[in-house]
Structure 1
Amino acid sequence: MSGNSNVGNSQVYEAGDQRNAKSSELESDRFHEGVKHSHNNNDPKDNRSLVNRAAAERQDEGSEDSVETAQLKKDPTLPAKMHGNEPSRGAKIDAELQAEDEATLRKKNQK
């Protein structure tokens, strides 16, 4: 019984199963095999790190916005109005702050 280990009989394993590959045998292009857009950025089961997800989002921000997205950036109360609801208090405050910022910028540009 001295030949038995906690993981099974030592005679079951081949020598290659117990050794690590040399670093010279590993290919350096191993991590560059993926196809572009092969990851769904919103996939919760994706095993990418938070840093990689943040970098992907920064790249996506550079893309052009649709007309609806551009309108939503101009008026934060628009989604609620489109659905026939009263805008939330936060959306109203955001709209007021945005209007104040635009007025301030117009005054600075006139000077």
Structure 2
Amino acid sequence: MKRNYKQSEVNEADRYKEGKENSHKANDSKDERSIANKLARESKRENEPEPEKDTETMQSKKDATLPARSHGNEPSKGAKVDQELKEEEEAELKKKGKGEFGSKK
């Protein structure tokens, strides 16, 4: 059954006064927000604190095979190769006398 709303009901509704949370995607090419609105959003975004990364993401940066092993799974071949390459690069940097961030020790 279709219901026709009175104009006063429509104007007083919450959705009329404010948009839905996360209804616009920043990178959506079909989003019809004005350039001014996009610029305002980006300026607000610069002031927002960066979201904290979860522990699994941090673990994977240190050891690519750790997230799979922590879930009781065998790491993928790609994760194993990534870890081997990382270890080789670290060994090469140590051999050249540079630390983790390229600074001499």
**TM-score w.r.t. structure 2 length?**
0.44
**TM-score w.r.t. structure 1 length?**
0.42
Give the structure with higher Rg (CA): 1
